[in-house]
A and B are shown apart, each in its own frame.
Chain A
């Protein structure tokens, strides 16, 4: 099975889109990342990553939901596609398998 490579930040953004479940757009995604990871990301980074994810086919988007706060401009709302959710699950499964292979105590010694 051939996997599409997902970068670390891409994975986080894709997860955020999944978490936000229909409410994902530039603002919410960057706010969530900031809140959950404490990382200060520029809007441009999020914007570019969303575009790249869409190019790779992990998300799709549509325009809608104009509000007065945005000066009447529409937002681009993102949704995870089947391919995107498969990719997330693959990563999760791979990690689980890898965790299973981990000998006990290894991490405790080196980790804390």
Chain B
């Protein structure tokens, strides 16, 4: 037959056939028609053959053609069939059990990571959600007040003069409303002989309740704070003091209650819901501002130079805060006329309410503040922990994939498509991840009390599910992040696994390609970088905390017991004698080395006086100093060194405060007043608000507050009060007995007062509580990060080494020593860790210097901390790797070489 291929039908007709004919019968029909075409061609020539071909093609095209009922010769069961799903579960479960250690480290890495992340997120959500319950949060601003003397900032505060809020609201039509408040400190309530424990109060004007979202359960928010001596109690105080049930609050209206020593009764005008834990303003009761006019004097409404007030402004929705701030210099000039009115140049600014909790670095803070940087750092740490955990999962899952290569091969030969395999491995990851998530949730709930104890905050999972920052959006975002993480961490192993070539795997010639290895290597580098940053961070935080604890503060507070003064005892002309004899009585106990009384103590912020001038100096401008009322035993009790002059003596004090005129100052105050040294200051005089004081002694400087603050210039005045503190230096080891003794004396001298005490060092170090929490959390999490990273390295090394078992065998046969093999195997991993250290050092350096910036006194960033962290990381990596490498190096080469 001449050239059969010339006897084929036109190509387009064939295409038409192939395109439209049902696929089940296409092959046979094509063949048949081809054969027929050749037959027609032979019999009748090309033209007729073509015509008949076309006709017959049409006869087998839809709608004429009959479809063959589908009979599947190769059934393709859906991967969702129960059989397959059962098989997937079985295989997944067997794989988990086959290598228990591996599965455990993998799962626990995920569980720890997610738990840690959930915990930190609760904390972050709590901190970020501060004041969000205020409906007008975006329109509310706080007036802040910087004061300058001789161009130098002397006070950076949120307190200012009583007239500011009112005057601003009058002058600027952008302001919708304002409210003014005063911190009333903690007070005790008295009702029919019963005294109730201390409670924080604020004096607030009549706008306060309508300005902020603090809803009243009973009472009228418009008028409740109008009359003097009005009092609004929180719900829990109403329960505590009156035993009132929720339905009975209305009957409390009009009832009277006494506050501290005030002889005038306070009338209850309302009961409010308890202040949310996320309010920067925390109080248990509100007292009307008008009350202050009676107790403090009329200046609380009119003064332009006495300042103890906080002002909040609510702007109109259209107003621009920045534009309003631009007008404040003119305001200052108009009312303060440079420093002529108040003794300092006043600069006002607006602080958004949103920033009042986390981004406030002001002195004389009324609210609860936390360090925003620390909170964001936590968030970053949480993200890293989660990332490390997932990276770890990827690493371990991929490293183990070799064991499953045969399974993949068999599945492929049995007809599994790549898609099905990806689906299988992906769902395996997702299941494992979900399991880890559930375990993590359980663990979080179980550890919640410990966490709350540690951070001292009412955290709960509900902060992540709508109650906290961002509301429901937070929950959604979180769910999204977790879902994304689950899939992404499953993707890489799934793709790596399903890409195995069935033939290679089953023939046994399967060798690991080098292309996947760099992914895992860079993952390890990432993990170790994060770990090293955290290690360095932890070192620095701890060294700073240690430094602050150990630093010579300039006074000695070891074993000093502080007892709160008898606030409920009335002040009279015999008060000082009573205090003195109380101290003398207590000092008779051999365990008491010293006793002192003072108006304020270390860690308290002191009140300041502006416009303090040295008598006889030609300086026109005054300076600003802090004031502290102490008695004659104070400096001895706290071992504060007298540099020149003398200590206080009994005759310096007087029950009538106006007759007191001798003062001791510290060295900083002496320098500020212009004395060249301590000795030259003694005997000199200075004025505070025009009143003259004589310097009888100069003491050395000490850190009155935490090391975040610089040393203050302080003037000590020999004042006494009933409401201050007694400090007792104790030498005894039987603290309980000593405290009992002091208590007995205290109650004998000051009947009707509560005896409450604390230790000075504990109280002082409480200033570092947030820092300590930060330190604890970073330690815990860097430990976690290192642990998880080590798991990752462990997985990677065990995998790589098992790949090289033959090579090791050959080397051993040829005479390599165990040490040389261990070195050979460890070298690769050490390289990764070294890269990580190099990457981590600058990141860590930047991060910790940001953190340290907040401290006035801080440690130096010495290179050895970085080196130590590096050595630690290398050490951990070496130990991790050596587990595997030593095992491999000790293995009998016969075993590995025989199995060819």
A68 at interface (Cβ–Cβ under 8 A)? yes
Q: A73 to B34, Cβ gap below 8 A?
A: yes
Quick check: A31 and B31 within 8 Å, CB to CB? no
Inter-chain CA distance A70–B8, complex, in Å, is 10
Interface centre among B4, B39, B59 (most CB of A within 10 A): B59
In the complex, what residues of A have CB within 8 A of residue B4's CB? 68-69
Bound CA–CA A55/B71 (angstroms):
11
Question: Do the beta carbons of B59 and A73 come within 8 Å of each other?
Answer: no
The residue that A73 contacts in the complex, of B8, B30, B55, B65, with Cβ under 8 A, is B30
A80 → B minimal CB distance (Å):
18
Interface string of B26-59 (1 = CB under 8 A from A): 0111111111101100000000000000011011
Q: Known: A27-B39, A51-B68, A68-B4. Is A44-B34 also a contact (CB below 8 A)?
A: no
Residue interface mask A7-47, B partner, CB < 8 A = 1: 00000000000000000011100110000000000111101
B27 pairs with A27, CB closer than 8 A: no
Whole-angstrom distance between the Cβ of A14 and the nearest chain B Cβ: 16
A6 to B746, CA, bound (A): 120
Q: Is B321 an interface residue (CB 8 A)?
A: no
A55 smallest CB distance to B (angstroms)? 6
CB contacts under 8 Å to B, within A66-80, are 66-71, 73-76
Q: Is B27 within 8 A of A42, CB to CB?
A: no
Q: Give the total of B residues in contact with A, Cβ under 8 Å.
A: 26
Per-residue A-contact encoding for B63-91, CB less than 8 Å = 1, 0 else:
01111110000000000000000000000
Chain A CB within 10 A, most for which of B33, B35, B36, B64: B35
CB–CB B32/A26 < 8 A: yes
Query: Any chain A CB within 8 A of the CB of B60?
Result: yes
Give chain A nearest CB distance to B573 CB in angstroms.
Answer: 122
Partner of A71, one of B31, B56, B66, B67: B31
> When chains A and B are docked, how far (Å) is the Cα of A52 from the Cα of B4?
33
| Complex contact A42–B55 (CB within 8 A) | yes
- CB pair B35 A69 closer than 8 Å: yes
Cβ of B25 < 8 Å from any Cβ of A? yes
Q: Do A74 and B56 touch across chains, with their CB atoms under 8 A apart?
A: no
Encode B200-241 as 1/0 by CB contact (under 8 A) with A.
000000000000000000000000000000000000000000
The answer to whether A47 touches B35, judged by C-beta atoms less than 8 angstroms apart, is no
A25-B32, A68-B4, A69-B35 are contacts. A47–B60 as well, Cβ < 8 Å?
A: yes
CB of A47 within 8 A of CB of B36, answer no
Partner of B36, one of A30, A45, A74: A30
User: Which of A43, A54, A74, A75 has the most chain B CB atoms closer than 10 A to its own CB?
Assistant: A43
Measured CA separation A27–B31 after assembly (Å): 9
- Indicate whether A94 reaches chain B with its CB closer than 8 angstroms: no
A43 closest partner in B (C-beta): B56
Contact of A43 among B8, B38, B60, B67 (CB under 8 A): B60
A65 and B349 alpha carbons, distance in the complex (Å) = 95
* Structural contact, B66 and A70, CB atoms closer than 8 A: no
* Interface assignment of A48: CB less than 8 Å from any CB of chain B: yes
Task: Find the residue from B4, B28, B56, B59 having the highest chain A CB count within 10 A.
Answer: B28
Q: Which of A44, A54, A55, A74 touches B64 (beta carbons < 8 Å)?
A: A44
B35 touches A70 (CB 8 A): yes
Contact B69 A71 (CB under 8 A): no
Across-interface contacts of A42 in B (CB, < 8 A): 55-56, 59
Cα of A42 to Cα of B58 in the assembled complex, Å: 9
Partner of A27, one of B32, B55, B66: B32
Is A82 in the interface zone, CB < 8 Å from B?
no
Q: Taking the nearest CB of chain B, how far is it from the CB of A52, in angstroms? A: 7
Q: Which residues of A contact B56 (CB under 8 A)?
A: 42-44
| CB neighbours of B55 from chain A (8 A) | 42
Minimum CB–CB distance for B61 against chain A, Å = 8
Report the bound CA distance from A50 to B64 in whole Å.
14
User: Does B69 contact A55, Cβ atoms closer than 8 Å?
Assistant: yes
0 or 1 for each of B615-657: is its CB under 8 Å from A? (1 = yes): 0000000000000000000000000000000000000000000
What separation, in Å, do the CA atoms of A43 and B29 have in the docked complex? 9
Whether the pair B39, A47 counts as a contact (CB closer than 8 A) is no
The answer to whether A70 and B31 touch across the interface, beta carbons within 8 angstroms, is yes
* CB nearest neighbor in A for B56: A43
Question: Within 8 Å of chain B (Cβ to Cβ): is A63?
Answer: yes
User: B39 contacts A48, CB within 8 Å?
Assistant: no
Residue of A nearest to B61 (CB): A44
A26 and B66 contact, CB distance less than 8 A: no
Q: Report chain A residues within 8 Å CB of B33.
A: 43
* C-alpha gap A52/B69 in the complex (Å): 10
Asked if residues B31 and A74 are in contact (CB atoms below 8 Å), the reply is yes
Report whether A47 and B34 are in contact in the complex, using a CB–CB cutoff of 8 Å.
Answer: no
User: Which residues of chain A are near B58, meaning CB under 8 Å?
Assistant: 44
Is there an interface contact between B30 and A71, defined as CB atoms closer than 8 Å? yes
CA gap between A76 and B28 in the complex, in Å: 6
CA distance A31 to B31 in the complex (A): 15
State which residues 721-768 of B face A: CB under 8 Å.
none
Among B27, B60, B67, B68, point to the contact of A74 (Cβ < 8 A). Answer: B27
Q: Are A45 and B59 in contact (CB under 8 A)?
A: yes
Q: Is the CB of A69 within 8 A of B27?
A: no
Evaluate whether A73 and B31 lie within 8 angstroms (CB atoms) in the complex, with A27-B36, A43-B59 already known: yes
Q: Which residues of B contact A45 (CB under 8 A)?
A: 59
Q: How far is the CA of A101 from the CA of B266 in the complex (A)?
A: 129
Residues of A within 8 Å of B35, CB to CB, are 27, 67, 69-70
Q: How far is the CA of A68 from the CA of B35 in the complex (A)?
A: 10
CB distance from B59 to the nearest CB of A (A): 3
Q: How far is the CA of A66 from the CA of B35 in the complex (A)?
A: 11
Residues of A contacting B25 with CB < 8 Å? Answer: 47, 51, 76
Mark interface residues in B1-24 (1 if CB within 8 Å of A CB, else 0): 000100010000000000000000
When C-beta atoms are compared, the residue in chain B nearest to A31 turns out to be: B39
Rounded to whole angstroms, the CA-CA distance of A63 and B609 in the bound complex is 107
A75-B59 contact, Cβ under 8 Å, with A51-B66, A55-B69, A69-B35:
no
**Chain B residues within an 8 Å CB radius of A44:** 56, 58-60, 64-65
Contact: B66 with A52, CB < 8 Å? yes
Q: Could you tell me the distance between the alpha carbons of A48 and B69 in the complex, rounded to whole angstroms?
A: 12
Please list the residues of chain B having a beta carbon within 8 angstroms of any beta carbon in chain A. 4, 8, 25, 27-36, 38-39, 55-56, 58-60, 64-69
Query: Would you list 25 pairs from A and B whose C-beta atoms are within 8 A, ordered by A residue?
Result: A25-B32, A26-B28, A26-B29, A26-B36, A30-B36, A31-B39, A42-B55, A43-B32, A44-B59, A44-B60, A44-B64, A47-B32, A47-B60, A47-B65, A48-B66, A51-B67, A52-B66, A63-B27, A66-B31, A69-B4, A69-B35, A70-B30, A70-B32, A73-B31, A74-B27
List 13 additional A-B contacts (Cβ < 8 Å) besides A43-B56, A71-B30: A27-B36, A31-B39, A44-B65, A47-B65, A48-B64, A63-B28, A70-B31, A70-B35, A71-B34, A73-B31, A73-B34, A74-B31, A75-B28
- Across the A-B interface, give the 9 residue pairs with the lowest CB-CB distance, nearest first: A44-B59, A73-B31, A70-B31, A26-B32, A42-B59, A43-B56, A48-B66, A76-B28, A44-B60
